[in-house]
Amino acid sequence: MPINNRNSGRPEALPDNGEEGRESAAPEITRTSDRRRRKGSEAEAGRDKPQQSAKAYAVSLLARQDYSAATLRSRLERRGYAADEIEDAMAFVIGNNYQNDERFAELRSRGIAKRAGNMRIEMTLRQKGIDADMAKEQVRQLEPEEERVIHAAAKFKTQLQKTGMTPELKMKIYRFLAYRGFSAKAIRVAIESLGQDANWVEDA
């Protein structure tokens, strides 16, 4: 008897309705679709869950630079870690003094002190998540603003020697220092350090 090659290798039980091709193909299509959906879900889950632990990621960030606790926590949240993982990581880095808000505030404030007034420094620390009392305390520990402002204004000496104190230069110096958070009192000191009258500078 001739062998039906079409049926060789298939299960003996065939569909009763005679629509073998359509019925046998349908499960394969469904299985392929299921596999695709499953693979897609697995890939999505892999993207959502970071491979590195929250603790290891926090330590790696702090090894490169200092962060305030608020900024570090935000970085971990954006990375997609669960809340309990973040709490464990924060407790670990703070407990081991890898992260310290007071140290961060001191380094940050000293790093910009020569070019920024007290208001700007305090605002910068607050934006980084440092609480108001700590920010104020760090500013108090800096060199007085009236001394720091002289360094900031020194960049105008060359231009002043070339053109003299024109109205345009006067306003340029004022805007430069005011934008950087120096007080009116400090700005007067800076202008006087350039050998110019500063009575026109009014308190804010």
pLDDT digits (tens, 9 = 90+) for 158-169: 888 888 888 899
The alpha carbon dihedral of 41, 43, 44, 50 has a sign of positive
Does 174 fall in a domain? yes
Residues 181, 201 within the same domain? yes
Residues 127, 163 within the same domain? no
Residues 138, 149 within the same domain? no
Q: For 138-178, give the DSSP string.
A: HHHTSSPHHHHHHHHHGGGHHHHHHH-S-HHHHHHHHHHHH
Query: Which pLDDT band holds residue 201 (cuts at 50, 70, 90)?
Result: confident
Summarize the confidence of residues 168-188 as an average pLDDT. 93
Residues 88, 60 within the same domain? yes
* DSSP summary character for residue 118: H
* DSSP summary character for residue 99: S
* DSSP summary character for residue 115: G
The pLDDT score that the predictor gives to residue 80 is: 95
Summarize the confidence of residues 50-63 as an average pLDDT. 93
**Percent above pLDDT 90 for the chain:** 60
The pLDDT score that the predictor gives to residue 28 is: 47
The pLDDT score that the predictor gives to residue 17 is: 44
Residues 150, 185 within the same domain? yes
Residues 91, 131 within the same domain? no
**Residues in the chain, overall count:** 204
pLDDT tens-digit series, residues 28-45:
444 555 555 655 544 444
| Distance between CA atoms of residues 51 and 46, nearest Å | 8
Q: What is the pTM of this model?
A: 0.69
Mean pLDDT comparison of 14-18, 23-27, 134-138, 156-160, highest-scoring range: 134-138
Residues 152, 129 within the same domain? no
**What is the total count of domains within the chain?**
3
pLDDT tens-digit series, residues 110-128:
999 999 999 999 999 999 9
Does 113 fall in a domain? yes
| Distance between CA atoms of residues 27 and 20, nearest Å | 12
Range of the domain at 127: 100-142
Q: Considering the chain, what is the average pLDDT of its residues?
A: 82
